[in-house]
Chains A and B, each alone.
Chain A
Amino acid sequence: METTKREAATQSQKLMVFVLTMALYGLATLLTELIPSFQAGIVEFSVEYFLFIPLTLAMLFDPLSAALGAATGELVFSEIMLGQFGGLGELEKFLTVTIGVYVAGRMVKNPANRAMVGVAAITGTGLQLFLGMLVDIMKVQFAVEDFEAVAGLPESVFATEGFAFLNDLLFSGILFCLLPTLFLVPRLYGKIEPLLGMQPRTEKTFLGGINVKVILGCLAAFVVAAGAELLATSGMPLIEWEADWAESSTALAVGIVAAAVLSIIVLLVIKKRAEKPQRAQA
């Protein structure tokens, strides 16, 4: 009895964190989607401007719920609601965000410790960006046959992707993730928990640092993410459909058209018939 009660309570707390993160980060990504992106010279702010929101919440509450909530929020508010859903490729973003936020949340033992919060924030952001970079590099590698053979290609890809990564991390990572998180976590610590009916995170309630299980879990998730992204974008050259069509005869195409027309006629007829008895009844 007692244990089920406690379980219901923790379940509900997790749900609360999920709902909270989803709503806030969803709103934030909706805004970024709507605000045109800034570009100043070669420096492009392509980082998630508002990653500090789930980072902050993951450090204060259950990291996994916050991470999943953030990823779901982004998916639902900015992708689905605005119809900007990009198919399988979204899975990559979903999982890298989840991993980054989750790891950052697990790292913080004491949210009042600014150094710890700062390290965790920049690690989480870095991880998310780094995984994104890895996927990007792999994309090129898969897409271009004999990747190694093309002179200078690997170097240039590594160089540009690496530069983009560092740029994002050092510029927007610090400006939009590290600083706001450092600002928010100590301020919210001890204040936001009572509003949700929870106790602030202490050494006791802390889940324990990063262990092998966490790393393995993240790795597995990353493999899925990379796989999905590769499937989504570099499937193009793998399947060559156009060749088949060019050779196929017009007759076949005519056949397909005829079938389509026929199916429409059949549908119309059936519909008419189905409507008649209804009308008779009415």
Chain B
Amino acid sequence: MERKAKKKLSENILDKFTIDFLRSQVLKNAYGNDDTMIAKLDPRILIVWYLFLGLVPWFVSDIYFLLGCFLLVVATTMLARVAGLVLFLFGIGVFSQTGYLFIVTLLFGGDASAIVPLLTLTLKVACCSLASITVFSGLDPDRLSNGLMWFGCPERLSFSISYAYRILPMLMEEFQNILLSFRLRGNPPASQTFWGKVKYLAYQVKTIMHAFYPLMLNTAKRSRTTVEALEIKGYRLAATDKRVKKMRLASLKVTWDDLMFLAVSFLWISLSILASTIF
């Protein structure tokens, strides 16, 4: 059954699960939520918040505390309006780490007592992933890179983040067009029989690999202009100029909303600690 489902999924990589769909989902995730409450928060505050919720749950096994954290990050993820695909990936990720363990335990005659330790583990994993989804998907790329820069991350990284968000739509479109060329002129094997399906899958994987040859050359052409333009725009000078860094970071401001966000999170966490001491 599962094998069948998997086959079906992989068969549809280029058909239903198209690059077009991926593109729209990734774009949605990257750009579609810049007007949410999360996106408006100060990146430094959010990064500190993430450091707490991304790390502390790993070290704590108290179920009430974990539940509290989990509910909090679920709420923030909803506030950040994360794209469906990312949440789907999150689900797969959590399942692959803990869910299947539970099924295996049940198969080998385990009983419900296995639930509690597994639940703890699941909550830990889920909590950390959702916290990172909130911060990295919810934050505006530019604010995120400014925030990282404030914490002393290399300039190259923060440039890469902004640039990645700029170039991704272009890159995906180009890739998509090249794949279209393959689709128009190629001739995939028939996929009726089981062997046919395997061959079809192999064909598609091969096509994606081959598509990188033209993509590499086309992207090389682009990056030349880009790097020349960066030189004109003074990027290389700015990377070492302290004044520029200061100017960039001057746009960061902690507002009441940020403090309120922290305080509410703090209240919620402390309530869950209270709960755990009572019960």
Contact = CB atoms under 8 A, between A and B. Distances in A.
On whether A and B touch (CB less than 8 Å), the answer reads yes
A122 interface: no
Nearest to A184: B213
User: What is the predominant secondary structure among interface residues of chain A facing chain B?
Assistant: helix
16 contacts: A8-B236, A12-B228, A19-B223, A24-B219, A27-B171, A27-B215, A39-B6, A82-B29, A82-B137, A85-B132, A85-B136, A242-B61, A245-B60, A245-B62, A246-B62, A271-B256
Interface stretch (A95-103, A138-146, A156-164, A262-270): A262-270
Contacts of A22: 160, 163-164
B223 A274 contact: no
A75 B157 CA distance: 9
Interface of A: 8, 11-12, 15-16, 18-20, 22-24, 26-28, 30-31, 33-36, 38-39, 50, 52-53, 56-57, 72-73, 75-77, 79-87, 176, 180, 183-184, 187-188, 191-192, 195-197, 235-236, 239, 241-242, 245-246, 248-250, 252-254, 256-257, 259-261, 263-264, 267-268, 270-271, 274
B263 A270 contact: no
B212 A53 contact: yes
Nearest to A187: B213
Interface in B228-279: 228, 230-231, 236, 256, 259-260, 263-264, 266-267, 270-271, 273-274, 276-278
Nearest to B236: A11
A264 B260 contact: yes
B270 A259 contact: yes
Interface of B: 6, 9-10, 13, 17, 22, 26, 29-30, 54-55, 58-62, 65, 82, 85-86, 89-90, 92-93, 128-129, 132-138, 141, 144, 156-157, 160-161, 163-165, 167-168, 171-172, 175, 208-209, 212-213, 215-217, 219-221, 223-224, 226-228, 230-231, 236, 256, 259-260, 263-264, 266-267, 270-271, 273-274, 276-278
Chain B contact surface mostly: helix
Given A19-B163, A56-B216, A81-B137, 5 more contacts: A8-B231, A30-B168, A245-B65, A260-B271, A270-B256
